[in-house]
Chains A and B, each alone.
Chain A
Amino acid sequence: MIHVSRLSKSFKVYKREAGIYQAIHSFFQRKYERVDALDSISFDIPKGEIVGYIGPNGAGKSTTIKILSGILVPDEGECVINGYVPWKDRKEYVKKIGVVFGQRSQLWWDIPVIDSFHLLKDIYTIEPTIFQESLTELTALLDLKEILKMPTRQLSLGQRMRCEIAASLLHRPDILFLDEPTIGLDAVSKKAVRTFIKKINLEFQTTVILTTHDMQDIESLAQRIILIGKGRVLFDGTIPNLRDIVPDPKLSLEDVLVYLYQKLGI
């Protein structure tokens, strides 16, 4: 379903020291260095799996999501998803995926949520009957009935996130990328989001790739963890597998990661 092999991507990062003198200097002559955001990443994900894609800040999680969703082109390596190369067959490929960026909104700020949904209906050319069906389903599952008619700017973060997730599922994608979907949410909203992700995974066999810093997300959702650091895959397996490599079995998952981050120096 998702096949990724030896994916690499590096960015130019401009360097300069602090201070006004250096700022002027770098205006004329910029020094930069290459930073490997991804360094030969490989993995395969079968249909219907929920994968937790974790790692410290700056490990390359977002870069991977951007490549897998076709926004960025890697320097090297191959990636075939559902038979498509994401950055080559953009228009066809993106019909089959849904992406939620927890830190950014795809809803129109000043107009009722339902109008944003109707725009998506036109963008994805969703059949009216299918659209209505999806909408009814999602409204029930995510409890959106009350908030669909409110403009986005008046929603709480939890309400907004539920709408964001609904928005990226209207066209019934096979794969759902969730980039920090629970960031900043309260306990109740987090739980609602988790329950929902589990439900659609069971019901529609939607493959879910989830990046998060919240270990409870991982514990309640992920059947498999891929841990990356400094652009490399450091671990790929189940949660019990991960616990096996630390000495103390009683550590919480959070502490297991802290231990690993420190031990591996990432």
Chain B
Amino acid sequence: MKLYKRYLLLHIQTELEYKTSFLLTAIGQFLVSCNVFIGIYFMFQRFSTVKGYSFEECLFCFSLFLLSFSLAEMFFRGFDQFASMISNGEFDRILLRPKSLVLQVLGSKIEFTRIGRMLQALVMFVYVLLRQPIEWTILKACITVFMILGGTVLFAALFVLYATICFFTLEGLEIFNIFTDGAREFGKYPLAIYGKNILLFSTFLIPYACIQYYPFLYLTDHTTNVMVAFTPIAVLLFCIPVHLFWNYGIKHYQSKGS
């Protein structure tokens, strides 16, 4: 933890070196996500509901999804950019240090400019809260926190998965972005609107729905089954194979890499 704090401070220090660049990138991130918000807004000007979900409900989904995504992107950027760490030898250096590899990869990149995207997510979230679509209880508030945390862990796990593939290909596979950036886009709406197959996929293969659709149903009183609210925990199950695959990837790298 002490080491991670040191990494954090160093990254802040680095960002301070380039103030203008930091601000512009952060503003850019904010505006890009703002676009999506405007898109949703205008769509709901024409259609009052999408598959029975209201504007506020969709926006609520999107803001949580985006918040998770930007948190993961901020703190797990090292895995997102892993291909470059392998190709420039930075990963070799990490292997030479007497600390956990995951911790070092985490520490090597922290992307504070993602604060722009996060801000946009927060703006939407507050906007939704002000329009009062949800009758809040303590349990519901806890579930919201779990949704955000679960989402962050899920996206982080996807970044790790993506990084592990780099051990084998030695370069990033762009197609994998479907599951991260792509998912961020399709998380705008409750996942059920995309049909049964997508919902099955995002329940059992990559559990997006467990941090979005199912708890969302409970929050918006579409269901009263409390069990459904605890689905974010399923994300932890997803982490197990990812973790094993990562370890396997390191072994492969050490025995095959050059």
Contact = CB atoms under 8 A, between A and B. Distances in A.
Contacts of B6: 118-119, 122
A73 B254 contact: yes
A91 interface: yes
Contacts of A124: 97-98
Interface residues of B, number: 25
A63 B93 contact: no
Interface string A91-116: 11011010101001010101100010
B247 to A, nearest CB: 13
Contact of A104 (B17, B93, B104, B255): B93
B119 to A, nearest CB: 24
A90 B95 contact: yes
Interface stretch (B7-15, B33-41, B121-129, B134-142): B7-15
Contact of B88 (A99, A104, A151): A104
B96 A71 contact: yes
B99 interface: yes
Contacts of A12: 256
A66 interface: yes
A73 B251 CA distance: 9
Nearest to B3: A122
B258 interface: yes
Interface string A44-56: 0000000000000
B52 interface: no
B17 A70 contact: no
B258 A63 contact: yes
Contacts of A138: none
A170 interface: no
Most B Cβ at <10 Å: residue of A12, A71, A108: A71
B96 A115 contact: no
A11 B254 CA distance: 12
B195 interface: no
Contacts of B221: none
Given A73-B254, A104-B93, A115 B98 contact: no
Interface string B1-36: 011001100100110011000000000000000000
Given A71-B254, A73-B255, A124-B98, A66 B92 contact: yes
Contacts of B99: 91, 123
A94 B10 contact: no
Contact of B14 (A71, A87, A110): A110
A8 interface: no
Contact of B258 (A37, A111, A122): A37
Contacts of B258: 11, 37, 63, 72
A92 B98 contact: yes
A220 to B, nearest CB: 27
A242 B93 CA distance: 34
B257 interface: yes
Contact of B98 (A95, A99, A118, A119): A95
B48 to A, nearest CB: 50
Interface in B49-81: none
A71 B17 contact: no
B4 to A, nearest CB: 9
Nearest to A35: B258
A122 to B, nearest CB: 5
B10 A91 contact: no
Nearest to B91: A71
A206 interface: no
A123 B97 contact: yes
A69 interface: yes
Nearest to B17: A110
Nearest to A177: B96
A106 B98 contact: no
Contacts of A97: 96
Contacts of B97: 94, 123-124
Contacts of B255: 72-73, 75
Interface in B108-166: none
Given A73-B254, A110-B17, A119 B95 contact: no
Give 5 closest A-B pairs by Cβ, nearest first: A73-B254, A73-B255, A122-B3, A110-B14, A95-B98
26 contacts: A11-B256, A12-B256, A37-B258, A70-B96, A71-B92, A71-B95, A72-B257, A73-B251, A90-B98, A92-B98, A94-B95, A94-B97, A97-B96, A101-B92, A108-B14, A110-B13, A110-B18, A111-B10, A111-B17, A118-B6, A122-B3, A123-B97, A123-B104, A124-B97, A125-B98, A151-B17
Given A101-B93, A119-B7, 20 more contacts: A71-B92, A71-B254, A73-B255, A75-B255, A91-B98, A91-B99, A92-B98, A94-B96, A101-B92, A104-B88, A108-B14, A110-B13, A110-B14, A111-B13, A111-B14, A115-B13, A123-B3, A123-B97, A123-B98, A151-B17
